[in-house]
Structures are given as C-alpha cells and as structure tokens.
C-alpha cells in the first residue's frame, strides 16, 4: 500500500470535484459536504471518465452509458461485485493522503 499526499491545490472544495494522476492511475476526487471520496476515473464498461459524470447524492453516473456507482463503495447500486476501485483517504491536520493498494483491482488492465 502506498500513501500519497494529495497536493492542496488538487483538493476539491466542498461541492466540487477534480482529477488526480497518481502512480499511473487517473483518479476522480469528490468533496461532498466536506467528505472526500476517491474512485478510479474510468468506467469499467468502456473507460469513459467518471469525474465529468452526473452526480446525484453519492451516486456518480457515467455520461457514456448511464452506469451509476456509489462513491462510498465504488459499486453499482444493487450489486456486490461490479464497480470501480475506491480509494481510502486519510487526513492529518491540513494534509490529505490517498491510500493506493499494491494489489491490482479486478477491473485493472492486465
């Protein structure tokens, strides 16, 4: 597991979203009422960016084919085995860290 500090300028303010390139991955960051969420910025269906999708509460909807994913779990609602990688975030005072697993996610390219 890698612990990568997110530069303050790349942290979205409450109600906003952003993108981060980290260890070869594109990651979508969301700040919902002060809670930070991080998921892969690639829909598992055909790779469309999720950071530009439609947000409804904690659900992000892919603009390409309307698949939805819960930011808290990375999973499609009603499923337990299909989704995007979700990353844990740790805060230490003003510093924010993204926890990047070493093991590949089942949706990662081979």
How confident is the prediction along the chain (110 residues), in pLDDT tens digits per residue? 899 999 999 999 999 999 999 888 999 999 999 999 999 999 998 889 999 999 999 999 999 989 999 999 999 999 988 999 999 999 999 999 999 988 665 655 43
The structure's pTM equals 0.89
Rama region for 84: left / alpha / beta (φ>0; ψ in -120 to 50; rest): beta
DSSP 17-67: EEEEEETTEEEEEEEETTEEEEEESS-TTT---STTSEEETTEEE-TTT--
The architecture in CATH of the region 2-100 reads: 3-layer Sandwich (2.102)
Domain parsing of the chain, residue ranges: 2-100
8 Å CB contact between 23 and 102: no
Phi, psi of 9 (to 5 degrees): -70, -15
């Amino acid at each position: 597991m890698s612990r990568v500090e997110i530069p303050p300028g790349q942290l979205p303010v409450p109600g906003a979203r952003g993108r981060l390139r980290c260890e070869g991955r594109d990651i979508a960051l969301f700040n919902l009422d002060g809670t930070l969420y991080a998921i892969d910025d690639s829909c598992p269906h055909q790779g469309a960016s999720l950071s530009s999708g439609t947000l409804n509460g904690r659900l992000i909807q892919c603009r390409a084919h309307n698949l939805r994913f819960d930011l808290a779990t990375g999973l499609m609602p009603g499923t337990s085995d299909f989704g995007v990688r979700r990353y844990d975030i740790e805060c230490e005072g003003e510093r924010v860290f993204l926890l990047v697993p070493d093991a590949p996610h089942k949706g990662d390219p081979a």
